[in-house]
Amino acid sequence: MSSATLPANLSEETVREISERRDEPEWMLQRRLDALDALDDVDLPDVIQTPGRRWTNLEALDFEELVDPLNQSDETERVTDEGVHVLPFTEAFDEFDDVLEANFGKTVDPESNYLTALSAALFTTGTFIYVPEGVDAKDVKVRAKMNSKSLFSHTLVVTEDSSSATILERIDSGDDVEGDRYFSNLVEVTTGENSYVQYGSLQNLDEDTYHYTFKRGDADVYGTINWIEGNIGSRLTRSDVETELNGDSSETKIVGAFFGHNDQHLDINARVWHQAENTTADLVTRGVLDDDARSVYEGVQDVGRDAWNTSSYQRENTLMLSDESEADASPKLIIHNHDTEASHSATVGQVDEEDLFYMTSRSVPPLQARNMLVEGFFVPVLEEIAVDEFREDLEELIAERLR
Amino acid sequence: MSSDQDHLKETDTEARFEFKKEQKSSFQADKGLTEETIRVISEDKDEPEWMLQRRLRALKQFQEMPMPTDWPGQPDLSEVDVNEIVPYIRPDVETRGGVDDWTDLPDDIKDTFDKLGIPEAEKNALSGVGAQYESEVVYQNMQERWEEKGVVFMNMDQAVQEHEDIVKEYFMTKCVPPSDNKFAALHGAIWSGGSFVYVPEDTTVDMPVQAYFRMNSEGMGQFEHTLIVAEEGSEVHYIEGCSAPKYSAFNLHSGGVEVFVGEDAHVQYSTVQNWSKNTYNLNTKRAIVEKGGRMEWISGSMGSKATMLYPASILKGRGASDNHITIAFAGEGQNIDTGAKVYHNAPNTKSTIESKSISKDGGRTNYRGLVHISEGATNSSTAVECDALMFDNESTSDTMPYMEINESKVDVAHEATVGKIGDEDIFYLQSRGLDDDDAKQMIVSGFIEPITEELPIEYAVELNRLVELEMEGSLG
């Protein structure tokens, strides 16, 4: 894997200026500079390659052209709930400096790859969500609009023991910008003991935007991290959603929905590491492809040597509405402990002929029948969503795409 | 090891594979791999110029290609230094190309195959037998009735001389070119022995033909080439068995198998591999299947230190089909990395892949598979099922399937499960009076039954005995 080169418009001065404009503490600046330094040493994220086929071509991204670090702009609305702190980083440094310093970059290592390092060095937006011990936050929402050519966002969620948070993040394009755009979104979730987080993310960027997101959670004893990842927009999406089950009896669900059309390319990845005893994981992804759209899916269930009594499940289903669409899938099981019940399955196919026949025989017009079946195909994902607004928005976007 | 397992040690199964023969040969190439080695081998075989040129071209490709090192979980190949390998040993047999009567063989070689039970099997269940010792086929025979129908079953070296046109057309040209991978290139440079099978139109060879490959010498490499051409409407079942005694130095087996399945033809290729646990088993096997043809790959991988093997079917003609059944058993120190590849390149093609793996005592099994459906391969379907059984916490089991779907009118399904032996199943069997070890043994036999039932009874029995031997003393 070749690493991308450092864009010419990116230097230590750029990073210092970003940090200064945001009035950041010294440690934050230092982290940014470390990430900038790392750019020379790290590679682009791994992409599956089989003989004669590269599943996603990230090398084609021209960061020189895409990245405009000093002109980032967004419009972000944050809805908070009682007892929980939902703040932009710039407003959190005063009160939560220690928590931030201790947790920033702990779950998503900025030096994971070129794109995480670029993001950590340049981010100008994002949210810090802090849930104190015993607090239940039911209704945290972050709605962001991207107004500039490039935008880097970093979100950090920290929950203390026996707390819970249901978070919805929605990402759209705001002002029109000439040419290609780039949006980078890193999300870190660290849970305390016996705490619960559902993090839902709905992305509907315009189709000139290249989108990279890396969401990673670290679940403590009896902790639960549930991810719901909806990808509708963007020209190209590379999405990595991962959970490390580090605490005994911790759990995770990684639920994904995508709907590609035109020439969209959606590279969706769900990965879980079982590192402790009695942990459970359930990975469910459903996607639909129309026109020339292409999807890539990798799911990994990694069961460590010490992960006794593991339960781990994975399902991926892709529905193809057009002959020109393409779908690649690779569900993987990596098992180091025999005290495991693990399974995975993946399917690719079309709308079921018999279902269609049944509907049309009940005098539903063919196109409407197909659309109803597509909407029904997403139900297992929709059912997992705890936030009504998220479910309704996703349903609406799916319905819109079918019109 | 419990005492009632001791009897397993006493069965002749182990002795049948483990015995060593003193190394006797009439010609042995120097260690290592140079252009000179290739020329010497080719000259010793009295090959036509084009074959020498193909070998030399393959050698060049081998030298230019990197070792595969970055596959996740792959076997460690750092020990495999081809310069340490003796690539070619011609055993001391008078008749080049193999005798057709076992009694004409030197006693020690005959004894080897007697112990392996090959002549006995020939009498009972086979249409023809080839036996390779080191680098050359020493015995080759086929029942006369097949010869009369135009069926050819001879050793590959002889085929280069006697069926030059066919071999020249098919040998590492269309199916497995040396450029395919580093070990295919190595194979192309120093191949020796193997089988050539030709089945004319509309001919059904109703009993299997078999080839047995035996490495006897320490530090040698065996590189046999198998070419099967099944013409339109024909049918044949080819079985290969492999074994070697264990030495401290590593052995390398890098075979090449090319199968051409004609229109509406049916070829079944079965392998029971029991290489010694110092052998690196790195093969390339591939079939091209024409319209309405059917290819079946049945593989049991029990032996070797490391295996990398992914039999491939290219479904080229409309309605072609493929069936893979594989079983891998990895014990202490073994990494069995195996799987299947299927390319659906025409409409109405079908494939089914069934993989079973067992890992224990720190062994590692990997399933690595690829299903590719090309644009235009409408109404194709594929079903992949992988099941892994793990015995203990030192072992590892990976399942890594890749699916590439470029066509919407398809039916693609993949399923996999991993788990330990069910406590309830064991309890049930114990409550019926079996002890713990026998219960586990029985569950494993049931687990691999889909494979054994595809094999002639002699082989099914053999496979079961091998599994028994692998399980010996390791249970509880």
Q: What is the pLDDT of residue A117?
A: 97
Instruction: Retrieve residue A401's tokens.
Output: 């795409």
Range 293-312 of A in CB contact (< 8 A) with B: 305
Taking the CA atoms of residue B243, residue B153, residue B181 and residue B455 in that order, the dihedral angle to the nearest 10 degrees is -50
Reported as a single tens digit per residue, the pLDDT across A370-403 is 999 999 999 999 999 988 999 999 999 999 999 8
What is the pTM (predicted TM-score) of this model?
0.89
Measured in degrees and rounded to the nearest 5, phi and psi for residue A330 equal -145, 90
Mean pLDDT of A312-336: 95
Between chain A and chain B, the number of residue pairs with CB atoms below 8 A apart is: 114
Query: Does A321 lie at the interface with B, CB-CB under 8 angstroms?
Result: yes
Whole-angstrom Cα distance, residue B78 to residue B280? 11
Contact A293, A264 (CB under 8 A): yes
Query: What local confidence, expressed as pLDDT, does residue A31 receive?
Result: 97
Q: Tally Cβ neighbours within 10 Å of residue B92.
A: 16
* Core vs surface per residue A333-350: b (16+ CB within 10 A) or e: bbbbbbebebbbbbbbbb
What's residue B117's pLDDT?
Answer: 77
Is B401 in contact with A336 (Cβ distance < 8 A)?
A: no
Per-residue pLDDT tens digits for B274-284: 888 889 999 99
Q: How many CA atoms lie within 13 A of B35 on its CB side?
A: 5
Interface contact A335, partner B, CB < 8 A: yes
Residue in A closest to B401 by C-alpha: A330
Tens of pLDDT along chain B (476 residues) come to: 333 334 333 344 445 566 666 666 777 777 778 898 899 889 989 999 999 999 999 999 999 998 888 888 899 998 888 888 888 888 877 666 678 888 888 888 888 888 777 788 787 778 888 888 888 888 888 888 888 999 999 989 999 999 999 999 999 999 999 999 999 999 999 999 999 999 999 999 988 898 888 888 888 889 999 999 999 999 999 998 888 777 778 889 999 999 999 999 999 999 888 888 889 999 999 999 999 999 999 998 988 999 999 999 999 999 999 999 999 999 999 999 999 999 999 999 999 999 999 999 999 999 999 999 999 999 999 999 999 999 888 999 999 999 999 999 999 999 999 988 878 888 899 999 998 888 888 888 888 887 788 777 777 777 777 777 777 644 43
Mean pLDDT over A317-333 rounds to 95
Partner residue opposite A305 with nearest CB, options B393, B412, B418: B393
Average pLDDT, rounded, for chain A: 95
Q: How far apart are CA B376 and CA B347, in angstroms?
A: 7
CA atoms of B400 and A333, how far apart (whole Å): 7
Of A53, A340, A348, the CB nearest to B412: A348
The whole-number pLDDT of residue A167 equals: 97
Nearest to A53 among B401, B404, B412 (CB): B404
Contact between A337 and B398 using a beta-carbon 8 Å cutoff? no
Is the model more confident about B462 or about A33? Answer: A33
**pLDDT score for B475:** 40
Report the distance separating Cα B140 and Cα B195, nearest Å.
Answer: 9
Over residues A94-142, the pLDDT tens digits come to 999 999 999 999 999 999 999 999 999 999 999 999 999 999 998 899 9
Q: Which residues in chain B are closer than 8 Å to A349, comparing Cβ atoms?
A: 410-412
What residue segments make up the domains of chain A, in order of their start? 12-402
Contact at 8 Å (CB) between B369 and B338? no
Residue in the block written with tokens 């799987």: B339
Residue with tokens 């993987």: A332
Cα B13 to chain centroid, rounded = 20
Q: What percent of chain B has pLDDT over 90?
A: 53
pLDDT of residue A256: 97
Tokens of B459: 């082989």
Identity of the residue in A323, A335, A350 whose CB atom sits nearest the CB atom of B418: A335
C-beta atoms of B405 and A329 within 8 A: yes
Bridge partners of B166, per DSSP, are none
d(C-alpha A340, C-alpha A348), whole Å:
27
ipTM: 0.86
> What residue spans of A9-83 are helical by DSSP H?
12-21, 26-38, 63-66
Chain A residues within 8 A of B410 when measuring between CB atoms: 320, 348-350
Give pLDDT, residue A393: 96
Residue of A332, A350, A354, A370 to mutate for B, most B C-beta atoms under 10 A: A332
Which pLDDT score, from 0 to 100, does residue B8 have?
35
pLDDT of residue B19: 67
Indicate yes or no: CB of A342 within 8 angstroms of CB of B419: yes
Q: Which of A150, A146, A143 is nearest to A115 (CA)?
A: A150
Inspect the interface and report whether the beta carbons of B395 and A345 lie closer than 8 Å: no
CA angle A325, A330, A332 (to 5 degrees): 165
Q: Scanning the structure block, which residue is given the tokens 């929605």? A: A170
**Chain B residue set in contact with A, beta carbons under 8 Å:** 73, 370, 372, 375, 388, 390-393, 395-420
CA distance B322 to B289: 8
Q: Let me know: does B353 contact B342? Beta carbons within 8 Å.
A: yes
DSSP code per residue over B364-380: EEEEEEEEEE-TT-TTE
Tokens of A173: 């394009």
Contact B400 A332 (CB under 8 A): yes
Beta pairing partners, A199: A167, A227
Q: Which residue of A has its CA nearest to B406?
A: A326
Q: A48 at the B interface (CB within 8 A)?
A: yes
The C-alpha R_g of chain B, in whole angstroms, comes to 22
The pLDDT score that the predictor gives to residue A143 is: 97
Q: By the 8 A CB rule, do B363 and B337 touch?
A: no
* C-alpha A403, offset from chain centre: 26
pLDDT of residue B97: 67
In this predicted structure, the answer to whether residue A168 has a pLDDT above a threshold of 50 is yes
Taking a C-beta distance cutoff of 8 angstroms, is the pair A243, A219 a contact? yes
Q: Mean of the pLDDT values across residues A240-260?
A: 98
Judge: B392–A338 Cβ closer than 8 Å, yes or no: yes
> Are the C-beta atoms of residues B326 and B299 closer than 8 Å to each other?
yes
Query: Hunting for tokens 């072992």 — which residue is that?
Result: B395
**Smallest Cβ distance to B410: which of A328, A344, A348?**
A348
Q: Which of A331, A333, A336, A334 is nearest to A348 (CA)?
A: A331
Contact A48 B402 (CB under 8 A): yes
* Among A345, A310, A312, A352, residue whose Cα is nearest residue A329: A345
CB B399 within 8 A of CB A344: yes
Q: What is the pLDDT of residue A5?
A: 63
Q: How far is CA A231 from CA A178, A240, A314, B318, in A?
A: 23, 12, 19, 37
pLDDT at B153: 93
pLDDT tens, position by position, B161-198: 999 999 999 999 999 999 999 999 999 999 999 999 99
Task: Answer yes or no: do A326 and B404 touch at CB < 8 A.
Answer: yes
Interface test with A, best of B404, B407, B444 (most A CBs within 10 A): B404
Q: Which of A301, A295, A335 is nearest to A315 (CA)?
A: A301
